[in-house]
Chains A and B, each alone.
Chain A
Amino acid sequence: MNNTPRLELQGMTKIYPSVIANDSIDLRIYPGEIHAVLGENGAGKSTLMKAIYGVVKPDRGRILWNGKPVVIQNPAHARKLGIGMVFQHFSLFETLTVTENIALAMDDSPRLEPLAERIRTVSADYGLPLDPERLVHSLSVGLRQRVEILRCLLQEPKLLIMDEPTSVLTPQAVRIMFDTLRRLAAEGCSILYISHKLDEIMELCHKATIIRGGKVTGYAKPAEETAASLARMMIGKELPICSGKRPVISGRKCLQVNDLSTKSADPFGTDLQAINFSVSEGEILGIAGISGNGQQELLYCLSGERLVDDKNLITIYDVPVGHLNPDQRRNLGLGFVPEERLGRGAVPGMSLTYNGILTAHRHGMVKNGLLRFRKAAEFAQQCITGFSVQCGSKDDPITSLSGGNMQKYITGREILQQPKLLIVSQPTWGVDVGAANVIRQAMIDLRNNGSAVLVVSEELDELFEICDRLIVLAQGRSSPSLQVQDTNKEEIGLWMSGMFPGGPKEKTPRTTTQEQDGYVC
């Protein structure tokens, strides 16, 4: 390792109208180093990385590249310097092939046939095999990430930025990615690794810069730290933990899904094939799996946003509900928190109070067809205090809340209605650690009071923390259920790739005739 940092940031500052995303951040990374940028959601990590990659322009601050000051004009400029970036939300084009996607990111207009050949060789070389002819929409999330990584590797980067790369991978896929990153680092490439997952950073990274609220709160060598000490720097206090689950005498079966099969309404979606599971009173059932394996389709069927042909396929307390709309299902005691907070969970322009009425109206807020605002306001206030929602007032539009507070409010709205069955999708997506804890605790409390809870999540840590039983959804099929104490993340990880009894297994990538279709006339 030589002494000139490959990249040095001095006093990087980016101010948005409502928030200072980065406040004079200093960072230094040397050749061959894997450097973590650790921080909670909204701490300003992504903004900082976009500034390095030339996507956003910093308001103040200097970037030194190999010791020389540079002003990075745009991503093409960054790539020319040797900076590659793998985005958190993939910047791929779904209707184009792998080769076309990669060609779009190359600056020297390559011809497609030789490029496809190079993709084949390089991907095999790094142990990330990929078929260059496939259309991106037909790839799993893990393979899509491969496309992003390869796109960078083909340009032989000196610095690779990885923005939350593992949030969509199975534990096994994480292993493969770590091996690739270590090999790149050994070849002299610097890697900026952005994450809020402490265990990954302790395992992979040589150094870490910790950011909170747009400011650097510390530099560390992760190997010498503990998860607790890193967390303190990241969130400014001790890592909160949920209080224990009370053993509950297993109650009656509440939700039952029998051999549910549907075709997805989205041509790029996943069809459900014979889904089977049940949730009983006093238990939390977790559905693990990577998004895009039928979660959306299943939740639409469960919430009643999509009706199923045979009403008996879904029952609540043995009452067939497959033909009932969401409102009718709620009358039977269903509470539902969708993963899209705005638009599906709440109406953006409406106040907290009005958003409360949307699902809680059946609890005495309507009399003779007229709204009873006093009741509604009381209810909204209860949600705010009960779930420590930080907001101006209950009359503010819900869009004025941060993601975490919005999620607390929406979850609170459902839980305060005392549902017999609560279905929650991705309860803590983009939610900070504190709020996540409030939400998880609320679900546990609801369970302890004898309700049935169904949680769909990509975060295995979260599922193992709160659930009693787990099933896995892979390629539209459901696995048998496992008691949480009888399994581990490795097993669930394998199951997530389809390797469970009766599961779809790993399928070899194949080009279908349909894919050709896009290119005729």
Chain B
Amino acid sequence: MDFAIFIKILIAAVAAGTPFVYAALGELVTEKSGVLNLGVEGMMLVGAITGFIAMAKTGSLLLAVGCGMTAGMLMAAIFGVLTLTLMANQVASGLALTIFGIGLSAFLGLKYTSIALPGIPELPIPLLSDIPVLGKLFFSYDILVYGSLALLAIVSWFLYKTRAGLILRGVGEAPKSAHALGYNVVRIRYIAVLFGGAMAGLGGVYLSVAYTPVWVEGMVAGRGWVSLALVVFATWRPLRVLFGAYLFGAITIAQFHIQGLGIDIPSQLLSMLPYLATILVLVVISRDLTAIRLNSPASLGITYHPENQ
């Protein structure tokens, strides 16, 4: 494999990884507050179709992004009401949300199945993108890719440098203690859940509007689940989520190229490769028990009953 192909794979990997970056960072914030939302796949699908419809009708990327994020948030709001207000089980509610999202997105997308969109333009950064090789590799993506990198910076800064982030981590670590100090656990968790929904929706929009700008039923194709896995195997650390997402993207693209070279490996086996390799790598780099305990929210998935004091 020559160098040019290698660079091409890397560039394609960034695009392939971007939906995961959005969805997984959103879920990371949700989980840091102690809530496990397994509905990422459903929220991404609903975000994808709403964004697609808005783009098809108006051609405005801004509107598509806005609609997709709002749709994801509405989905997350359903989950929030169920688990935070009505105190339903988070795992069951999350699974239900995914199933609901699959159905709803298929229904909304009935009339849009054969339409293709033009996609969104690359936005090379002047001067920097003219640097040979590196310019192409680092500075010539579309705006949503840059957006996902900004999101990484914001999430890391928020969680580890701001007081609000400290409170969020505190709530995920020990909700009872946070309550005893006077923090409104349920409200903080609502905000985290809604943020997670918005980001999952945005990840969906990227898929349907930029990555493969055409609506296909169920087009998220398990990416929501992979995002959930990325958060866990990256041990709730934002930078590792990004690394995992790009690794997954890179192997996905690479195995296409390998299939294209006509090497005699069953394509089904190659398709498994990204899942296996990503999880394996993340497990290996994140196997320090103390680090896991330090970064994982201790109350994850446990329903919080404010009255039970």
Interface residues of chain B: helix, strand, loop or mixed (majority): helix
Residue total for A at the interface (Cβ-Cβ under 8 A):
31
Partner of B177, one of A50, A93, A518: A93
Interface residues in B, total, Cβ within 8 A: 31
Q: How far is the CA of A504 from the CA of B169 in the complex (A)?
A: 34
Of A100-108, A222-230, A348-356, which stretch is located at the interface?
A100-108
Bound complex: CA A76 to CA B181 (Å): 7
By the criterion CB–CB under 8 Å, are B167 and A104 in contact? yes
Q: Which of A74, A93, A518 contacts B170 (CB 8 A)?
A: A93
With beta carbons under 8 angstroms apart, the residue of B156, B169, B309 that contacts A521 is B156
CA distance A94 to B297 in the complex (A): 11
Task: Let me know if B294 is at the binding interface, CB within 8 A.
Answer: yes
CB contact between A75 and one of B169, B181, B298 (< 8 Å): that residue:
B181
Is B177's CB under 8 angstroms from A514's CB? Answer: no
With a cutoff of 8 Å between Cβ atoms, the chain B residues found around residue A105 in the complex are 181
Task: Name which of B87-95, B115-123, B235-243, B261-269 contacts chain A.
Answer: B235-243
Interface 0/1 of A125-162, CB less than 8 Å to B? 00000000001010000000000000000000000000
Do A95 and B294 have beta carbons less than 8 Å apart?
yes
* Set A94, A109, A135, A521: member contacting B174, Cβ < 8 A: A94
Contact of A55 among B238, B239, B294, B309 (CB under 8 A): B309
Give which listed residue, A92, A95, A519, contacts B160 with CB less than 8 A: A519
Instruction: Evaluate whether A74 and B182 lie within 8 angstroms (CB atoms) in the complex, with A517-B291, A521-B239 already known.
Output: yes
Task: Say if the beta carbon of B163 comes within 8 Å of chain A.
Answer: yes
- Residue numbers in B under 8 Å from A93 (CB-CB): 169-170, 173-174, 177-178
Chain A, Cβ-Cβ closest to B163 = A109
Give the contacting residue for A518; candidates B180, B182, B294, B298; CB below 8 A. Answer: B294
* Chain B, range 216-243, C-beta contacts under 8 Å to A: 237-240
Complex Cα–Cα for A79 and B180 (A): 12
Contact pick for B309, options A56, A76, A135, A519, CB 8 Å? A56
| Contact of B182 with A96 in the complex, beta carbons under 8 Å | no
Q: List residues of chain A with CB within 8 A of the CB of B258.
A: none
Taking a contact as CB atoms under 8 Å apart, the answer to whether B290 and A91 are in contact is no
Q: Could you say which of A50, A92, A100, A135 contacts B294, with CB atoms under 8 Å apart? A: A135
- Scoring B160, B177, B181, B240 by chain A CB atoms within 10 A of each residue's CB, the highest score goes to B181
| B240-256 contact mask (Cβ, 8 Å, vs A): 1 or 0 | 10000000000000000
Nearest CB of chain A from residue B235's CB, rounded to whole Å: 10
Which residue of A75, A96, A109 contacts B180 across the interface (Cβ within 8 Å)? A75
Q: With an 8 A cutoff between CB atoms, is A58 at the interface?
A: no
Instruction: Please tell me if the beta carbons of A514 and B290 are within 8 angstroms of each other in the complex.
Output: yes
A-B contact pairs, 24 of them (CB 8 A): A55-B179, A56-B309, A74-B182, A75-B180, A91-B176, A92-B177, A93-B178, A94-B174, A94-B298, A96-B166, A96-B170, A96-B173, A104-B166, A104-B167, A104-B178, A104-B181, A109-B163, A137-B294, A267-B289, A267-B292, A268-B290, A518-B294, A521-B156, A521-B239
